[in-house]
Structure 1
Amino acid sequence: MKKNIAIIMGGYSSEVEISLKSGNVAYQNIAKDQYNCYKIHILKNKWVLVDDNNNEYPINKHDFSAEINGNKITFDCVFNAIHGNPGENGTILAYFDLIGLKHTSAPFYQMALTFNKRDCLSVVKEYGIKTATSFYLNKGDKINLDEIIKKVGLPCFVKPNNAGSSFGISKAKTKAAMLPAIEKAFKEDTEILIESFLDGPEITIGVLNYEGKTKVLPMTEIVTDNDFFDYEAKYLGKSDEITPARISDATHKKLEKVAKKVYRVLNMSGFTRSEYILVNDEPYFLEMNTVPGLTNESIIPQQAAEAGISLQELFHNAINMALKN
């Protein structure tokens, strides 16, 4: 008997449109002869099952079911394609845990930890993982620009602590640029992270639980036309994503070892995509995305293709791993 799979997409953050694209790619690539797939839109004003004719059926939040023409639909597994809140920060996954529904992501605490850049960096540092020098601000804190610059230097990156797709991030090159950058970041979050500039190539690494083992996908080198890998660079073609990355075998082995270690120490499962900067061939960890983009332009699908893994194999594996838990 075919399993019912709910593909959740949308969310409550600035990433809603990207998430809807990722969810639809998953829906198109999961074999309908093997699974009964349903698109579920999780939005601020409604949770609905959306059929192929765009008819909407409300989700019963008591047990995450839907009723279609008098038939109650329940689910065996949730495929999580929500970037940001509430999918990537663990909120909705805690709800699924409470009602006993399996899902393709890591446990909710791990999702919450990695979504909070500040806390994630604090944990990995304890395991000897190199990171940028950073300064934290909460909304309402007194802002002493001289103190910040003394610690992190210029240029520096100002970013929301809990946000994705590079929303709200700025590269501040001068003291005068700092306050506008801080104000921009605070529009996305009440906590912000200011980090020193690391000079070197950016390498993006996909790591996932594939057939029961931790697998590092072929790495991607980011060469952007913009000042950094921002929203335009990620989604509007303002960058070159070179897979596999142009690095030596020795550097590749070093990155692979660090990427596996980070995945393990954070107790991850499911998809992840982490960003590293190479400074004199030493990897510096920036952040981890636990619901990376799955659109046709996204990096994880590119890396999987380079590894000889089709989107169908990638998505079926995620479902199979979740059902075995």
Structure 2
Amino acid sequence: MKNVAIIMGGYSSEYKISLKSGEVVYNHLDKTKYNLYSIHILTEGWFYVDENKNRFVIDKNDFSVTVNGTKITFDVVFNAIHGTPGEDGLIQAYLQLLNIPQTSCNYYQSSLTFNKRDMLSVLKPYGIKTAISYYLNKGDVINAEQIIQRVGLPCFVKPNKSGSSFGISMVKESEQLVPAIEKAYVEDDEIIIESYLKGTEVSVGVIKYKNDTIVLPITEIVSENDFFDYEAKYEGKSSEITPARISEEEKTKIEDVAKRIYTILKMDGFSRSEFILAGGEPFLLEMNTVPGLTTESILPQQAREAGISLNDLFENAIELALTRNKF
């Protein structure tokens, strides 16, 4: 049987959500097919955590662990880390150097998609529609008038490299702009300020499944708050409707652009992209390459709607990682 390391946790504000995702993966994979190991990658260290919550330190030289005198190495890594170092390319590059396959996309795609500004810049020449944006780096002079003249009000202020809506604010009045920028800087030293797009927010999963690139059923996001923030995502302050209540024409447009983005970026593994459907046209907000995998998360909801069980979804990711030639 193959030894599967399920990595979870990470160094960002999302680590608790990642631990939940990793636990769901562990609970849904077939233990008669794989030897499963929960690996917690945390700021205080990397550990194999057994079912009795005992911790064993991971040897970072070769990504192995010694348990009761026996050294264990891994055939494949299931990546369930949201944020750094699992979604920004660091873990992918490390594992590639060790020649250990893993379930998410390659290090370059991870790094590119994690950086919202860079990803949108790469996609613009391909005609992918995006919101009007303004970029700031920590230390830059903040010219509120210039920013508002460019993006208008209301607008969104976001950390450039962050997930789960940490650090995001919707700015409705000019005096709210500087506090929103300061809030975003807590999460990242680069920020992106985007114009408000009035329309329907949708989330689209695109995955490799049995060697085909497939678009999962589209989810419509209806937030009770001003936007799809942390509360809306994880504390029940939203409705997630799958399939989305959109026309067949809109559905086709979104599916086409989501699949096209996946192909342009030479993606592998899971992806979940967020769009605003404004005036019948999809505008890309961002892409997640290690989307939430808890039972309440959007990608698992979409897989269920498509008739794919969590067991099949996770097993497929492992089998594809084992067979694709990454090195």
Normalised to the residue count of structure 1, the TM-score between the two structures is 0.99
Instruction: Return the alpha-carbon distance in structure 1 between the equivalents of residues 296 and 179 of structure 2.
Output: 31
Q: Which residue matches 2:192?
A: 193
Instruction: Return the alpha-carbon distance in structure 1 between the equivalents of residues 315 and 245 of structure 2.
Output: 30
1:111 aligns with 2:110: yes
Q: Which residue matches 2:282?
A: 283
1:12 aligns with 2:11: yes
Amino acid at match of 1:206: G
1:251 aligns with 2:250: yes
Q: Which residue matches 2:22?
A: 23
Q: Which residue matches 2:134?
A: 135
Instruction: Return the alpha-carbon distance in structure 1 between the equivalents of residues 257 and 73 of structure 2.
Output: 40
Q: Which residue matches 1:151?
A: 150
CA offset at residue 70 of structure 1?
A: 1.0
Instruction: Return the alpha-carbon distance in structure 2 between the equivalents of residues 187 and 77 of structure 1.
Output: 35
CA offset at residue 282 of structure 1?
A: 0.3
Q: Which residue matches 1:305?
A: 304
Amino acid at match of 1:12: Y
CA offset at residue 250 of structure 1?
A: 1.0
SS at match of 1:166: coil
Q: Which residue matches 1:125?
A: 124
Q: Which residue matches 1:226?
A: 225
CA offset at residue 73 of structure 1?
A: 0.6
Amino acid at match of 1:228: F
What is the aligned residue count? Answer: 324
Q: Which residue matches 2:173?
A: 174
Instruction: Return the alpha-carbon distance in structure 2 between the equivalents of residues 276 and 3 of structure 1.
Output: 38
Amino acid at match of 2:79: N
Instruction: Return the alpha-carbon distance in structure 1 between the equivalents of residues 166 and 262 of structure 2.
Output: 24
Instruction: Return the alpha-carbon distance in structure 2 between the equivalents of residues 136 and 265 of structure 1.
Output: 24
Instruction: Return the alpha-carbon distance in structure 2 between the equivalents of residues 126 and 8 of structure 1.
Output: 35
1:24-39 equivalent positions in 2, closer than 5 A:
24-39=23-38
- Give CA deviations for 1:8-52 in whole Å, capped at 9, x if unaligned: 000000001000000000000000000111000001111000000
SS at match of 2:300: helix
CA offset at residue 92 of structure 1?
A: 1.1
Instruction: Return the alpha-carbon distance in structure 2 between the equivalents of residues 307 and 14 of structure 1.
Output: 31
CA offset at residue 208 of structure 1?
A: 0.5
Instruction: Return the alpha-carbon distance in structure 2 between the equivalents of residues 223 and 23 of structure 1.
Output: 27
Amino acid at match of 1:19: S
Consecutive unaligned residues in structure 1, runs of 5 or more:
none
Consecutive unaligned residues in structure 2, runs of 5 or more:
none
Normalised to the residue count of structure 2, the TM-score between the two structures is 0.99
CA offset at residue 191 of structure 1?
A: 0.1
SS at match of 2:104: coil
Instruction: Return the alpha-carbon distance in structure 2 between the equivalents of residues 36 and 14 of structure 1.
Output: 29
1:97 aligns with 2:96: yes
- Give CA deviations for 1:175-234 in whole Å, capped at 9, x if unaligned: 000001000000000000000000000010000001001110000000010000000000
Q: Which residue matches 2:259?
A: 260
Instruction: Return the alpha-carbon distance in structure 2 between the equivalents of residues 77 and 43 of structure 1.
Output: 20
* % identity of equivalent residues: 63
Instruction: Return the alpha-carbon distance in structure 2 between the equivalents of residues 292 and 232 of structure 1.
Output: 17
Instruction: Return the alpha-carbon distance in structure 1 between the equivalents of residues 173 and 135 of structure 2.
Output: 18
Instruction: Return the alpha-carbon distance in structure 2 between the equivalents of residues 91 and 156 of structure 1.
Output: 31
CA offset at residue 108 of structure 1?
A: 0.3
CA offset at residue 235 of structure 1?
A: 0.1
Instruction: Return the alpha-carbon distance in structure 2 between the equivalents of residues 274 and 177 of structure 1.
Output: 28
Structure 1 runs (4+) greater than 3 angstroms displaced? none
Amino acid at match of 1:6: A
Instruction: Return the alpha-carbon distance in structure 1 between the equivalents of residues 248 and 153 of structure 2.
Output: 32
Instruction: Return the alpha-carbon distance in structure 1 between the equivalents of residues 253 and 194 of structure 2.
Output: 23
Amino acid at match of 1:231: Y
1:273 aligns with 2:300: no
CA offset at residue 138 of structure 1?
A: 0.1
- Give CA deviations for 1:209-268 in whole Å, capped at 9, x if unaligned: 010011100000000100000000000000000000001111111111000000011111
SS at match of 2:109: helix
Across the aligned residues of Structure 1 and Structure 2, the Cα RMSD in angstroms comes to: 0.5
Instruction: Return the alpha-carbon distance in structure 2 between the equivalents of residues 170 and 279 of structure 1.
Output: 20
Instruction: Return the alpha-carbon distance in structure 1 between the equivalents of residues 131 and 212 of structure 2.
Output: 30
SS at match of 2:191: strand
